[in-house]
Structure 1
Amino acid sequence: MKFVTFAANRPGRPVLRAGVLGDGVVVDIDHAIAARGGEPLAGSSADGGSQLLTLIRAGDRAMEIARAATEHAVAAGDEHQGDDVIIHPAGEVQLVSPLPRPNSLRDYLVVEEHLRNCVTAGLIDSIADEWYHIPAHYKGNVDEIYGPDDTVPWPAYTDKLDYELEICAVIGTPGRRISAEDAGRHILGYTLYNDWSARDLQAREMSIGTGPGICKDFGSSIGPCIVTPDEFDRDTAHLEARIDGEVWSSGVLGAMHFSFEEIIEWTSQEETLRPGDLLGSGTVGRGCGAEMDRWITEGCVVELEAEGIGVLRNRVGRKGAGPTRVIDVEALR
């Protein structure tokens, strides 16, 4: 399944709904459940919550109900239930970030090819010995999340903005002290992740021995959907980054020094992982401009694509102009 959050038009303003992306359609989960006589599971976005996050937190049984109801709606061709639209043509709704405000965001650094390229490019002196022993990470800013077709801000404090091609694992089932052998059942699915980075400021922040900080906190993009593990092969799926239509990065996630399962085991030792937590892979090899000394420009369109997930497309804003979202998620809370 491919879970999405989409903007559905309502009198006066759009509302955000949880859906399932199918072949050319988006199925409204709660409306599909109601059409079969069930009680809504995702709830309303009017109270400031995310419908999809509410559904994920409801657990495995809720997800199975959602799967059965949406598959039934498509098979039966149930487009409406009274005034409620169950099935939308995909081209008539706007997808936003599947989790407009994730529960948390941790980004790891587990692809050795990326690090080796950074050494070659002179971005770092060497790979620290401890990297081979600890899946270290930084924590991102869940209040600055962008989705498909949003304009991502170019911060006024940087002259070198960069994209980063990554995959996120999305936690669906909470847990603490989770073994790697058991970790797979805690993963709801995967999504694309663009870890935007202000490279010149990043070098300054991290020279102090801490960070990254505001060199990354200004924005992260995720989407366009969260795809369940049965429909996505994270090890062999083709990944690509295009800048104004030109391929800059191409390949697969490849060998992770620590798997997502090992990342979960390490991180959950003395803290609970919760539904809606995002765990980033770190940049894939040659998955950012800095590795190649190629730099994006104001106004360019950055597209990340993953086989089985889709395309996460963003335009880069003018320096210092601030964000422009297709749908003002904040105004809907």
Structure 2
Amino acid sequence: MKLVTFTVGEEEQQRVGAVLDDGAICEFPSSASAHFTSMLALIDGAEGALDLARDHLSKRQTVHAASDVRLLAPLPEPRQMRDALCFEKHLRQARANRHLFGFEGVPRDPAKIEVPAVWYEQPIYYKANRFSVVGTETDITVPRGETRFDYELELGLVISRKGKDIRPENAREHMFGFCIFNDYTARTAQLREMTGQLGPAKGKDFDTGNALGPWLVTADEIADPHDLTMVARVNGEEWSRGNSGEMHHKFPAVLAHISSDETLHPGEFIGSGTVGSGCGLELGKFLNDGDVVELEIEGLGILRNRVVRQDGDKAA
């Protein structure tokens, strides 16, 4: 199923449902089950809640035209957000372009970038701001004073069940579904603050900084999450293309590492990190006011946002 969180018309009440083949939305009425009061409640309900949702989907009792609804982030407030760095090509190319920020005199050859040994030994990740999540067609507000604003093309995973010390061979049991993740980044702030040997912080933490969507596809519909074509377009022009199979640490290894001595809970979100060539930093170009960014991942739809600078704020 392609699960969504949405509102109808001018109402603010959040509803959950699924996308039909014609683009209409089949609502799962909260009056029918407590599992339908939110996406987190649906995830908490496990297979029983999903079976109930499939039953409602087959009956199509409450259907809304796509034009009558506003899609929110499918999981508006994850219980936790972590973002990993799983693509070696992204790591090398991003570090090779540090000259754009005055840290290196000239561009460097990505193949000659020294990658820390620990990166190969274990997945590296940070915890993101779970309160700054937005959905498709929502404007992304650039932090004040930021001159190099960037998109990041990522695959997102939502956890289905509680687990600790998860073994890689059992990881699939803990995967509820997948969605597109645009990890918007204030590069000038990020590069500056991370010279202090901690972070990222304000380079990532700002309202509207985490875009998820357009929907959450249940894991049973994704045969192999590590063989998905990933594309980014800016104003209709393709900027990035890659494949989730390029992950050095794949999701089973990521789950095993994160859950080591730590309990994961249903409704937590984990990002794959940026696919190689999947951001402006790697390409040497950044986003401008009014740019429309579209991220597309095979089987997961298109996540679309417009970049908006605050009044009086200009890019460099």
Superposition TM-score, scaled by structure 1 size: 0.85
What amino acid sits opposite 1:255 in the alignment? E
Q: Distance in 1 between matches of 2:249 and 2:242?
A: 19
Does structure 2 conserve the Cα–Cα contact (< 8 Å) formed by 1:154 and 1:320? no
Residue 190 to residue 65, structure 1, CA distance change in 2 (3 Å): same
Q: Deviations along 1:138-192, whole A, 9 cap, x unmatched?
A: 1100111111111111101311100000011100111111111111111001010
State the distance in 1 between where 2:260 and 2:245 align.
26
| Secondary structure of residue in 1 paired with 2:170 | helix
User: Pick from 65, 68, 72: which aligns with 1:96?
Assistant: 72
**Mapping for residues 63-212 of structure 1, pairs under 5 Å:** 63-73=50-60, 78=61, 86-122=62-98, 126-212=114-200
2:290 to 299, 316, 319: 299
Instruction: Tell whether the 8 Å contact from 2:18 to 2:27 is kept in structure 1 after alignment.
Output: yes
Q: Which amino acid aligns with 1:15?
A: Q
Q: CA deviation at 1:66?
A: 1.1
> 2:309 is paired with a residue of what secondary structure?
strand
Given the alignment of the two structures, is residue 9 of structure 1 paired with residue 9 of structure 2, yes or no? yes
Task: Give the corresponding residue for 1:22.
Answer: 20
Q: Distance in 2 between matches of 1:282 and 1:113?
A: 11
The alpha carbon displacement at 1:14 in A equals 3.4
The Cα shift of 1:231 comes to 2.0
The answer to whether the 8 A contact 2:9-2:70 is kept is no
Conserved 8 A contact 1:154-1:321: no
Name the CA distance, whole Å, in 2 between partners of 1:252 and 1:138: 22
- Residue type matched to 1:100 in 2? P
1:328 equivalent in structure 2? none
In angstroms, what is the RMSD of aligned CA positions?
1.9
Choose from 208, 216, 229 the match for 2:219.
229
Report the Cα distance in structure 2 between the residues aligned to 1:170 and 1:40, rounded to whole angstroms. 20
Conserved in 2, the CA contact under 8 Å of 1:155 and 1:320? Answer: no
Q: Which amino acid aligns with 2:4?
A: V
Paired residues of 2:35 and 2:44 also in contact (CA < 8 A)? no
The residue matched to 1:224 in structure 2 has which SS?
strand
Distance, in Å, in 2 between the alignment partners of 1:321 and 1:107 is 32
1:321: Cα distance to partner?
A: 7.8
Residue of structure 1 aligned with 2:261, choices 252, 263, 270 = 270
What one-letter code is carried by the residue in structure 2 that aligns with 1:52? M
Q: 1:55 aligns with which of 42, 66, 85?
A: 42
Q: Which residue is equivalent to 2:108?
A: none
Structure 1: which amino acid aligns with 2:83?
D
Distance change (3 Å), C-alpha of 1:298 and 1:229: same
The answer to whether the 8 A contact 1:98-1:226 is kept is yes
For structure 2, the 5+ residue unaligned runs are 104-112
> C-alpha separation between the residues in 1 aligned to 2:193 and 2:310?
20
Q: 2: CA distance between counterparts of 1:141 and 1:248?
A: 26
Q: Deviations over 1:72-107 (max 9, x none)?
A: 32xxxx3xxxxxxx1112232111101111111100
Moved more, 140-149 or 110-119: 110-119
Aligned equivalents of 1:132 and 1:320: distance in 2?
43
Q: Distance in 1 between matches of 2:311 and 2:74?
A: 26
Q: Which amino acid aligns with 1:195?
A: D
CA distance in 1, matches of 2:169, 2:36: 30
Q: 2:77 is paired with a residue of what secondary structure?
A: coil
Change (3 A) 1:268 1:321: farther
1:280-299 paired onto structure 2 within 5 Å: 280-299=271-290
Report the CA distance between 1:122 and its aligned residue: 3.6
**How do 1:318-333 and structure 2 match up within 5 A?**
318-319=309-310
5+ residue gaps, structure 1, are 44-50, 79-85, 323-333
Q: Deviation at 1:230?
A: 2.7
Cα pair 1:153 1:321 within 8 Å, conserved:
no
Equivalent-residue separation in structure 2 for 1:140 and 1:281 (angstroms): 13
More moved, 229-238 vs 107-116: 229-238
Query: 2:39 aligned with 1:42, yes or no?
Result: no
Cα distance in 2 between the residues matched to 1:209 and 1:14: 42
**Using the alignment, how far apart are the partners of 1:66 and 1:139 within structure 2?**
31
Instruction: Please give the secondary structure, in 1, of the residue aligned with 2:256.
Output: helix
Deviation at 1:196, TM superposition (A): 0.7
1:132 partner amino acid:
Y
SS in 1 for 2:277: coil
Mapped to 2, the partners of 1:18 and 1:321 lie a distance apart of 38
